[in-house]
Amino acid sequence: MAISGLRLLLFLLLRSFTSLPVQAAARGGSNSSGTDEKYGSFLRSLLEDMPRITEELTHGYMSNLELEIAARSIGSRCPNISRLYSIGKSVNGFALLVIEISDKPGQKEAEPAFKFIGNVHGDEPVGREVLINLANWLCDNYLKDPLATNIVENMHLHILPTMNPDGFALRRRGNANNVDLNRDFPDQFFPINDEINYRQPETRAIMKWVKQEHFTASASLHGGALVANYPWDGSRDQSKQYYGSPDDKTFRYMASVYSQSHYNMSLSKEFKGGITNGAFWYPIYGGMQDWNYIHGGCFELTLEISDAKWPKAAELPVIWEHNRMSMLNLAASLVKTGVHGRIYASDTGHPIPGLLMIKGIDSEVSLFRQH
Q: How many CA atoms lie within 13 A of 66 on its CB side?
A: 10
Written as one letter, the residue type at 360 is G
**What is the closest distance, in whole angstroms, from the C-beta atom of residue 89 to ligand NAG in the complex?**
28
Is the sign of the CA dihedral 283, 309, 198, 161 positive or negative?
A: negative
Q: Which of residues 76-135 bind ligand NAG (CB under 6 A)?
A: 80-81, 103
Which residue number, 267 or 357, has a Cβ lying nearer to ligand NAG?
A: 267
Residue number of the CB closest to ligand NAG reads 190
CA distances in angstroms from 243 to 57, 231, 240, 246, 281, listed in the order given: 38, 8, 9, 10, 10
Any contact of residue 291 with ligand NAG (CB under 6 A)?
no
Q: Of 370, 104, 369, 106, nearest to 212 (Cα)?
A: 369
Which residue number, 233 or 247, has a Cβ lying nearer to ligand NAG?
A: 233
Which residue number, 218 or 268, has a Cβ lying nearer to ligand NAG?
A: 268
Any contact of residue 238 with ligand NAG (CB under 6 A)?
yes
The residue range among 88-96, 119-127, 262-270, 292-300 that interacts with ligand NAG, by the rule CB under 6 A, is 262-270
**What is the closest distance, in whole angstroms, from the C-beta atom of residue 31 to ligand NAG in the complex?**
4
Q: Which residues, in sequence order, are CB contacts of 50 under 8 Å at separation 6+?
A: 21, 25, 309
- Dihedral in degrees, nearest 10, Cα atoms 152, 155, 156, 162: -80
Any contact of residue 280 with ligand NAG (CB under 6 A)?
no
Q: Of 87, 84, 335, 103, nearest to 211 (Cα)?
A: 87
Which residue number, 92 or 149, has a Cβ lying nearer to ligand NAG?
A: 149
* Helix/strand/coil for 41: helix
Does 304 participate in catalysis according to the annotation? yes
Please tell me which residue in 304, 315, 321, 364 is annotated as part of the active site: 304
Any contact of residue 264 with ligand NAG (CB under 6 A)?
yes
Q: Which residues are marked as active site?
A: 304
Where does this chain bind ligand NAG (CB under 6 A)?
A: 31, 40, 80-81, 103, 143, 190, 192, 226, 238, 264, 267-268, 285, 307
